[in-house]
Amino acid sequence: MDSIKCSSSFLHHTKLNILFSNHTFPKSSSPNFKRLFRPISISAKARRSSEAENIAVVEKPLKSERFLVSDGLPSPFGATIRDDGVNFSVYSTNSVSATICLISLSDLRQNKVTEEIQLDPSRNRTGHVWHVFLKGDFKDMLYGYRFDGKFSPEEGHYYDSSNILLDPYAKAIISRDEFGVLGPDENCWPQMASMVPTRDEEFDWEGDMHLKLPQMDLVIYEMHVRGFTRHESSKIEFPGTYQGVAEKLDHLKELGINCIELMPCHEFNELEYYSYNTILGDHRVNFWGYSTIGFFSPMIRYASASSNNFAGRAINEFKILVKEAHKRGIEVIMDVVLNHTAEGNEKGPIFSFRGVDNSVYYMLAPKGEFYNYSGCGNTFNCNHPVVRQFIVDCLRYWVTEMHVDGFRFDLGSIMSRSSSLWDAANVYGADVEGDLLTTGTPISCPPVIDMISNDPILRGVKLIAEAWDAGGLYQVGMFPHWGIWSEWNGKFRDVVRQFIKGTDGFSGAFAECLCGSPNLYQGGRKPWNSINFICAHDGFTLADLVTYNNKNNLANGEENNDGENHNYSWNCGEEGDFASISVKRLRKRQMRNFFVSLMVSQGVPMIYMGDEYGHTKGGNNNTYCHDNYMNYFRWDKNEEAHSDFFRFCRLLIKFRDECESLGLNDFPTAKRLQWHGLAPEIPNWSETSRFVAFSLVDSVKREIYVAFNTSHLATLVSLPNRPGYRWEPFVDTSKPSPYDCITPDLPERETAMKQYRHFLDANMYPMLSYSSIILLLSPIEDP
């Protein structure tokens, strides 16, 4: 979450004054908050006193008109099918009473509760856990909780029995049916409820198992479920859904992708900051989804029929997506936002964690203020014992029940910060001399990361950290890793962008990136611990990176103040899409240069959705709020590029897969790697050098030679002499398609090869400005 997804006040890589939350909701929601979030009314029961101090005693036996009621068990948390009934269990330390609310789907639409059962603390509470066991007909039945206790924000408590709260462990959450459509009475926050599990939605996995691909072999594709197929050119029955992605997986297979990284698919409210956009004439929404409501629930409105077919449909459609991906040899990684929730700061809604146990789930200051290391109003209290167990339970669920293959942790550095009331006894069960830490202090051995890293299930999946947060903590190369965590390598992005556009002083740093960033990851880690990327969801697309010097975010409605200002982009001489033919040719060349640098680097390459055909967002580098063409994959444009840039990307990914020397398990040494300059084995690492070349011994290709000329001047390169062999061109980004990548089946291949022959016979190669080449070693045939 580099750029802002929740508030216009916080920018990527900007150290913020965020000791306490100063998050404000958009103008569309804050003045009329009660209209936007209206809890179900209480009919026969008055609101309990907010100053309740003692546990309420329920003298009457638990009764229900619809269900058989018994004590229940304190574990597992959530709603669990057991013995022809359902056990409900929820943790709440400071509440004095609890009521479970059963709500039919039809009653939810009418803002009514079907039945309430007040729990008896003498029978339905064990320690800090409320629990009850119910038998009956749960078809189309939902549930929630009311908790009572202190409403004292200065003490960190927000108990209010007028709120019906979501179970933090809810496996599916129901509210509105359709993405982007307001609820009754134009309500952005209609009442939500948790799904009661039934046996009706059992899923046939058909023997599906985790692929367990070696991480060094991955080519990751970051994508948005709705954005991938929402555009009309996708021509599918259910655009913008899990089912839509499943239908289009063959495109990714053709491209050579073997791992998709899904932007947030947990339940979120896309209408969180719903407001009219006067510039585009549509409405701003939370399109990206980095503002979670329920961590166990898939995003219901990504299903083909959402709650019309009940929540189980969304769960099964997500499983179908995973199963279909696995059939094609593609792993599925989820982007998880375990750093904050959609409840914001003290002005935000109360729909789950805050009303269940605010002081446990959020990082609070002594007077109840919310720490805001996320830049979105609150910070999840990740290293609290209860919260870290919640996190582990959640991740385990998605691995075991939903078959996902790993996780990318948004603002992952927050998980390394100490929890509220941090002390050794709180965390480890015993006091340690001098162990008292200020809330939010980074710690070297964070308990939650320790638990994840050593969990027998989670240790075997992909674990990727976005190793920074909005509070200025930047841990790229230093994230607590236990030898298994990888990181989004933001330094790779910044260095490669600057070198490819011809900035002096980056040749040495660029060479480090090509080697897998050993300056960051050598010493207990591997090249594949570096997730290499040029572009991601936040920031410029690849096409915009070579088209715009400046961001163009006016359509976001924030006067161009949001988004990253330091993009290291270059427009190739003219700003914007309307440019001369020569500038457009240079832009295509630069796109190819970036892609070559990504594919020949050690580490794990990651591509952003749409970059394979040159998707543009018109220079907007923070499109978090747009449910429109900016974020929609253009299948028509992809078809146009099929024989051009898409072909180039596909062939480069295939080449990387074929080469034994690309994607190594260890950092390359001098036995395999040689650096070159304009002359063989004489590299130039000076401040003014804009030329980097290397050769790699490869057991499949014999040897490959790669060179980058990012100068504005053409140059003639002397190649390493290999007696009995000749270098032959495979890639030259200065050539137009299809001659930018010469394959054996290329029409008129021999004619194209003859153009190089006289140079190659002299062991030389001419390189135009801003170009890169890949040469392969071929034996010289006898005349």
In angstroms, rounded to a whole number, what is the distance separating the alpha carbons of residues 567 and 545?
8
**Catalytic residue from among 272, 466, 611, 703:** 466
Residues 6+ apart with CB under 8 A from 328: 249, 250, 252, 253
Chunk the chain into consecutive blocks of 10 residues (it has 783) and report each block's average pLDDT, rounded to whole numbers.
Answer: 39 36 37 35 35 41 84 97 95 97 93 96 97 94 97 96 98 92 90 91 92 98 98 96 97 98 98 93 96 97 72 91 98 98 96 97 94 97 96 98 98 94 54 64 95 98 97 96 97 98 98 98 94 98 98 95 95 96 98 98 98 98 97 97 95 98 97 98 98 98 98 98 95 96 92 90 96 95 69
Q: What is the pLDDT of residues 657-710, one digit of tens each?
A: 999 999 999 999 999 999 999 999 999 999 999 999 999 999 999 999 999 999
Q: What is the pLDDT of residues 133-175, one digit of tens each?
A: 999 999 889 999 999 999 999 999 999 999 999 999 999 999 8
Count CA within 13 A, CB hemisphere, residue 693.
Answer: 27
Q: What is the pLDDT of residues 636-660, one digit of tens each?
A: 999 999 889 999 999 999 999 999 9
In angstroms, rounded to a whole number, what is the distance separating the alpha carbons of residues 638 and 597?
22
Residue 713: per-residue pLDDT = 98
Alpha helices in 501-626 (DSSP H): 507-514, 518-521, 542-545, 581-599
In angstroms, rounded to a whole number, what is the distance separating the alpha carbons of residues 100 and 594?
56
**Catalytic residue from among 357, 410, 558, 732:** 410
Find the helix packing angle between 581-599 and 645-658, rounded to 10°.
20
Contact 701, 659 (CB under 8 A): yes
Q: Is residue 556 helix, strand or coil?
A: helix
Residues 6+ apart with CB under 8 A from 363: 370, 371, 373, 378, 379, 380, 381, 417, 419, 420, 439, 440
Torsion of the alpha carbons at 525, 527, 533 and 537, rounded to the nearest 10: -40
Q: Is 433 a catalytic residue?
A: no
0.75 surpassed by pTM: yes
51 forms beta bridges with 150
Q: Is 410 a catalytic residue?
A: yes
